[in-house]
Amino acid sequence: MFEELTRRYLHAVDRALPGYVRALYVVGSAALGAWQPGASDVDTVILTSRAPTRDDLAQLARIHAGMPRSPHLDGVYLEPALARSWPADGRAVPFVVDGELRTDAPCGELTPVLWLTLRRHGIPVRGPAVAELGVRVDPEQLRRYNLDNLREYWQPGAATLSAELAGVAPATPMDGGPVSWFVLGPARLHHTLAHGDVISKAAAGAYLAGLFPEYADLARRAVGWRAGEAERFTAADLLAAAHSVNAVADDAWRRFGRSAPGGSR
């Protein structure tokens, strides 16, 4: 699954930058037992032995450019000081998305959800066991991140989608990608708020069906589409997906929108 890709990466980086990568952990769908050939990338957390120099970054860019196009090896690089603090503020660190190294932009992957996934499910390819890393996840920070993400990212996206579908005939065929994205993504955040753990997109389908049975069939089909099944979707399905976002987000804020006694909203 991910072994060959990470082996190839480590061989390349060890030749170009001996001693630079001291640890590598697989997170994402592979760690959650939901990796799908042809659909999933390999997500990683890479711990380095030093802060990167300009030459280090140039070498890393060359290495990632030479990696396979599918699946991508994505992830974030943490220098030693950051690997002690586990930042969740989206600061600029070297990171790889869709196989491309980025070094001068905020890293949206630096979130409490990433560290929760690493702590609970991370798979060590190189380096000590995850339990020895001292990964810290602040429960309040995790709660706020998920709630804010639902309200500030998912709900505006759903509103834009609904506006774009105005006037579109309900039976108009639609691609399954956006349907799957809007149906399964928010349900994962709701599950984390409710249970303090991270689930795969496939598991999020069943979770959404339990929360809102009216979306059970759509969730089942979205999961099937991601697994390569010949599901067909229409504009009515995509609009229902947008509505599901609001149902999940509103329910999450109703249940989990208050902090501990004495805290603020």
Q: pLDDT tens across 109-148, in order?
A: 999 999 999 999 999 999 999 999 999 999 999 999 999 9
**The tokens 């030093």 sit on which residue?**
50
The residues pairing with 45 across neighbouring beta strands, listed in sequence order, are 25, 76
Q: Which pLDDT does position 110 carry in this prediction?
A: 95
Please state the rounded mean pLDDT for residues 84-105: 94
Where are the domains positioned within the chain? 3-132, 139-256
User: Is 260 a residue whose pLDDT tops 90?
Assistant: no
Q: Does domain 3-132 have CATH number 3.30.460?
A: yes
How far is the C-alpha of 115 from the C-alpha of 109, rounded, in Å? Answer: 10
Element counts in the chain: helices (H) and strands (E): 11, 8
pTM (predicted TM-score): 0.90
Q: Which pLDDT does position 262 carry in this prediction?
A: 39
Distances (CA, A) of 180 to 40, 84, 98, 230, 254: 14, 36, 19, 13, 24
What are the pLDDT digits (tens) for 175-216?
999 999 999 999 999 999 999 999 999 999 999 999 999 999
How far is the C-alpha of 145 from the C-alpha of 152, rounded, in Å? Answer: 10
What is the C-alpha radius of gyration for the chain, rounded to an integer number of angstroms? 20
The token pair that represents 150 in the structure block: 């639902």
- Under DSSP, the state recorded for 29 is H
* pLDDT above 90 coverage of the chain, percent: 89
Distances (CA, A) of 103 to 11, 90, 91, 130, 227: 22, 13, 11, 26, 33
Going by pLDDT thresholds of 50, 70 and 90, the confidence category of residue 259 is low
What are the pLDDT digits (tens) for 35-91?
777 667 899 999 999 999 999 999 999 999 999 988 999 999 999 999 999 999 989
Going by pLDDT thresholds of 50, 70 and 90, the confidence category of residue 34 is confident
